[in-house]
Structure 1
Amino acid sequence: MKYLFSILIIGTMLMSACSNNAKEQALIKQQAIVAVKDSLKLDSFKKAEIKKQEDAKIAAQVKEEKRTLLLAEQNEAASHPSANQNSEAPTPAKKKGWSDAAKGTVIGAGAGAIGGALIDKKHGRGAIIGGVVGAGAGYLIGRDKDRKSGRVQPKN
């Protein structure tokens, strides 16, 4: 593209050097530059529109696949009613790693200990109290996140 512009500009300069109508040539040169800039803008808008259409197609395909899977699961459940009656609710697979409750406890204890040490004049006492309070608050917040994510069954 840069080479095209360079050739276009050099060509217009050579043409203007050969004629006596400098003002007309300058106008033609200016119009050519404007036309090239407009074509580049139009090209970028076309690319953006094509990308938008492709994204919409992909989203529609994903939505259709989800719907198909859901219908297949419903049909399978409907075709095997005795299997669902005999078994209790399926137990979710055990998740690996730290739970949100454990993470919250550790983060809350650390933050509470630092905060307590900074606030209280007796740093040791403040760190202990802040750590205990922070750990309790962090645990409660993390446990709530675990319930929402499905890692822990909510209380009835």
Structure 2
Amino acid sequence: MKQIVLALATVVTLFACNSNSADTAAAVEKAKKETLDSINAVNVAKQQVIDSMNAIHHSARKSHPVEAPARNNYAAPNTVASDNTPAPAPAPAPQKKKGWSHTAKGAVVGAGAGAITGAIVNPDRVKGAAIGAIVGAGVGAGTGAIVDHAKKKKAAQQ
């Protein structure tokens, strides 16, 4: 058993050390691009929230006019100086997903149960816990994925 684990660790190490510097540079560039794309997506979402809040503010002001004190012509950097501009349409509110998926819950519960079982069964407690956690997480995630798939299928039928 020790020889199999040692051979497997050696193979994994050799494959991990066999990386090419060009592949690494390409991976770094890809990661940078993905990071910039996600930052841009966050900025777009932030701007949509600002636009929808401005639209709500303008519609509330039009429906309930209140005598405002005299204004100066100064406008903050992100605001509009005149009230004559049309307000942008509010962005549709995204549906919030509540809680964890069954896949995530299954992975966490399976990892915990596997770690406890592995530590009890194997004389080497740490090794048993590590192996049990990995196997348990895989089994739990698989079971949770099956439950998620069944729920999506049931929701699609209704």
Give the TM-score normalised by the residue count of structure 1. 0.37
Higher helix share: 1
Decide which structure has the larger Cα Rg and report it: 1
